[in-house]
Structure 1
Protein backbone atom coordinates (compact mmCIF):
# COMPACT_ATOMS: atom_id res chain seq x y z
CA UNK A 1 0.00 0.00 0.00
CA UNK A 2 1.35 3.43 -0.92
CA UNK A 3 1.09 6.50 1.29
CA UNK A 4 -1.29 9.25 0.18
CA UNK A 5 0.63 12.16 1.71
CA UNK A 6 4.31 12.94 2.05
CA UNK A 7 6.27 11.97 5.14
CA UNK A 8 6.71 15.62 6.13
CA UNK A 9 2.96 16.24 5.96
CA UNK A 10 2.23 13.07 7.93
CA UNK A 11 4.61 13.97 10.77
CA UNK A 12 3.44 17.59 10.80
CA UNK A 13 -0.17 16.42 11.08
CA UNK A 14 0.78 14.13 13.99
CA UNK A 15 2.37 17.00 15.93
CA UNK A 16 -0.52 19.39 15.28
CA UNK A 17 -3.13 16.76 16.13
CA UNK A 18 -1.50 15.84 19.44
CA UNK A 19 -1.18 19.51 20.38
CA UNK A 20 -4.83 20.18 19.47
CA UNK A 21 -6.07 17.14 21.40
CA UNK A 22 -4.25 18.22 24.55
CA UNK A 23 -5.31 21.87 24.37
CA UNK A 24 -8.92 21.21 23.37
CA UNK A 25 -9.30 18.54 26.05
CA UNK A 26 -8.21 21.05 28.68
CA UNK A 27 -10.60 23.68 27.34
CA UNK A 28 -13.48 21.19 27.11
CA UNK A 29 -12.94 19.95 30.64
CA UNK A 30 -12.99 23.53 31.93
CA UNK A 31 -16.29 24.19 30.17
CA UNK A 32 -17.73 20.89 31.42
CA UNK A 33 -16.84 21.64 35.03
CA UNK A 34 -18.04 25.25 34.80
CA UNK A 35 -14.62 26.68 35.64
CA UNK A 36 -14.83 30.37 36.49
CA UNK A 37 -12.31 31.40 33.81
CA UNK A 38 -14.61 30.00 31.12
CA UNK A 39 -18.03 30.69 32.63
CA UNK A 40 -17.47 33.72 34.88
CA UNK A 41 -18.22 36.66 32.56
CA UNK A 42 -21.57 37.96 31.39
CA UNK A 43 -20.50 37.42 27.75
CA UNK A 44 -19.64 33.74 28.27
CA UNK A 45 -22.05 30.97 27.23
CA UNK A 46 -24.78 29.98 29.69
CA UNK A 47 -24.62 26.21 29.12
CA UNK A 48 -21.05 24.98 29.50
CA UNK A 49 -22.08 21.37 28.87
CA UNK A 50 -23.16 22.08 25.30
CA UNK A 51 -19.96 23.98 24.60
CA UNK A 52 -17.93 21.15 26.12
CA UNK A 53 -19.72 18.64 23.89
CA UNK A 54 -18.82 20.69 20.80
CA UNK A 55 -15.20 20.99 21.90
CA UNK A 56 -14.98 17.25 22.61
CA UNK A 57 -16.44 16.66 19.14
CA UNK A 58 -13.46 18.58 17.75
CA UNK A 59 -11.17 16.39 19.87
CA UNK A 60 -12.68 13.32 18.20
CA UNK A 61 -12.06 14.82 14.75
CA UNK A 62 -8.42 15.50 15.66
CA UNK A 63 -8.10 11.93 17.00
CA UNK A 64 -9.26 10.64 13.60
CA UNK A 65 -6.68 12.91 11.91
CA UNK A 66 -4.06 11.50 14.28
CA UNK A 67 -4.94 7.91 13.35
CA UNK A 68 -4.83 8.69 9.63
CA UNK A 69 -1.53 10.57 9.82
CA UNK A 70 0.02 7.90 12.02
CA UNK A 71 -0.92 5.26 9.47
CA UNK A 72 0.64 7.36 6.73
CA UNK A 73 3.85 7.78 8.74
CA UNK A 74 3.89 4.03 9.36
CA UNK A 75 3.55 3.37 5.62
CA UNK A 76 6.45 5.74 4.92
CA UNK A 77 8.61 4.01 7.52
CA UNK A 78 7.74 0.57 6.16
CA UNK A 79 8.42 1.71 2.60
CA UNK A 80 11.79 3.14 3.65
CA UNK A 81 12.82 -0.11 5.39
CA UNK A 82 11.96 -2.25 2.37
CA UNK A 83 14.60 -0.47 0.30
CA UNK A 84 12.42 0.88 -2.47
CA UNK A 85 13.96 3.48 -4.71
CA UNK A 86 12.08 6.77 -4.54
CA UNK A 87 11.94 8.77 -7.73
CA UNK A 88 11.57 12.44 -6.88
Structure 2
Protein backbone atom coordinates (compact mmCIF):
# COMPACT_ATOMS: atom_id res chain seq x y z
CA UNK A 1 0.00 0.00 0.00
CA UNK A 2 1.32 3.43 -0.90
CA UNK A 3 1.10 6.47 1.38
CA UNK A 4 -1.37 9.20 0.44
CA UNK A 5 0.40 12.13 2.13
CA UNK A 6 4.06 13.02 2.44
CA UNK A 7 6.14 11.91 5.40
CA UNK A 8 6.51 15.47 6.71
CA UNK A 9 2.76 16.05 6.57
CA UNK A 10 2.05 12.73 8.25
CA UNK A 11 4.39 13.30 11.20
CA UNK A 12 3.29 16.94 11.57
CA UNK A 13 -0.31 15.75 11.75
CA UNK A 14 0.67 13.20 14.41
CA UNK A 15 2.28 15.88 16.59
CA UNK A 16 -0.61 18.33 16.17
CA UNK A 17 -3.17 15.62 16.88
CA UNK A 18 -1.44 14.51 20.08
CA UNK A 19 -1.29 18.07 21.41
CA UNK A 20 -4.92 18.72 20.40
CA UNK A 21 -6.10 15.55 22.15
CA UNK A 22 -4.29 16.52 25.35
CA UNK A 23 -5.47 20.14 25.38
CA UNK A 24 -9.07 19.40 24.37
CA UNK A 25 -9.31 16.59 26.93
CA UNK A 26 -8.32 19.01 29.67
CA UNK A 27 -10.80 21.62 28.45
CA UNK A 28 -13.56 19.02 28.16
CA UNK A 29 -12.96 17.70 31.64
CA UNK A 30 -13.09 21.26 33.03
CA UNK A 31 -16.45 21.83 31.35
CA UNK A 32 -17.74 18.47 32.53
CA UNK A 33 -16.80 19.27 36.13
CA UNK A 34 -18.41 22.76 35.81
CA UNK A 35 -15.12 24.31 36.88
CA UNK A 36 -15.45 27.98 37.81
CA UNK A 37 -12.78 29.05 35.30
CA UNK A 38 -14.99 27.75 32.47
CA UNK A 39 -18.46 28.35 33.88
CA UNK A 40 -18.02 31.36 36.20
CA UNK A 41 -18.92 34.29 33.91
CA UNK A 42 -22.34 35.42 32.75
CA UNK A 43 -21.26 34.97 29.11
CA UNK A 44 -20.27 31.33 29.63
CA UNK A 45 -22.57 28.44 28.63
CA UNK A 46 -25.09 27.19 31.17
CA UNK A 47 -24.81 23.45 30.43
CA UNK A 48 -21.20 22.37 30.88
CA UNK A 49 -21.96 18.72 30.14
CA UNK A 50 -23.29 19.57 26.67
CA UNK A 51 -20.21 21.62 25.88
CA UNK A 52 -18.00 18.81 27.21
CA UNK A 53 -19.76 16.38 24.86
CA UNK A 54 -18.97 18.60 21.87
CA UNK A 55 -15.35 18.97 22.96
CA UNK A 56 -14.96 15.22 23.44
CA UNK A 57 -16.44 14.78 19.95
CA UNK A 58 -13.57 16.92 18.66
CA UNK A 59 -11.17 14.71 20.63
CA UNK A 60 -12.59 11.69 18.77
CA UNK A 61 -12.05 13.43 15.41
CA UNK A 62 -8.44 14.21 16.33
CA UNK A 63 -8.06 10.58 17.43
CA UNK A 64 -9.12 9.49 13.95
CA UNK A 65 -6.62 11.95 12.44
CA UNK A 66 -3.94 10.52 14.72
CA UNK A 67 -4.63 6.96 13.60
CA UNK A 68 -4.67 7.90 9.91
CA UNK A 69 -1.55 10.05 10.04
CA UNK A 70 0.39 7.57 12.15
CA UNK A 71 -0.44 4.83 9.67
CA UNK A 72 0.77 7.07 6.83
CA UNK A 73 4.00 7.76 8.68
CA UNK A 74 4.54 4.07 9.33
CA UNK A 75 3.95 3.34 5.64
CA UNK A 76 6.71 5.82 4.82
CA UNK A 77 9.06 4.09 7.26
CA UNK A 78 8.20 0.71 5.74
CA UNK A 79 8.83 2.03 2.23
CA UNK A 80 12.18 3.53 3.15
CA UNK A 81 13.34 0.21 4.66
CA UNK A 82 12.66 -1.53 1.37
CA UNK A 83 15.06 0.76 -0.42
CA UNK A 84 12.47 2.76 -2.31
CA UNK A 85 13.73 5.90 -3.98
CA UNK A 86 11.92 8.98 -2.72
CA UNK A 87 11.43 11.75 -5.23
SS at match of 2:13: helix
SS at match of 2:61: helix
- Structure 2's unaligned 5+ residue stretches are none
Provide the residue aligned with 1:62 in structure 2: 62
Provide the residue aligned with 1:39 in structure 2: 39
Provide the residue aligned with 1:77 in structure 2: 77
The Cα offsets for residues 3-52 of structure 1, whole Å up to 9 and x where unpaired, read as 00000000000000000000000000000000000000011000000000
What RMSD in Å do the two structures reach over aligned CA positions? 0.5
- Structure 1's unaligned 5+ residue stretches are none
Q: Distance in 2 between matches of 1:14 and 1:23?
A: 14
Question: Deviating runs (4+, > 6 A) in structure 1?
Answer: none
Return the TM-score normalized by structure 1: 0.97
The alignment covers a number of residue pairs equal to: 87
Return the TM-score normalized by structure 2: 0.98
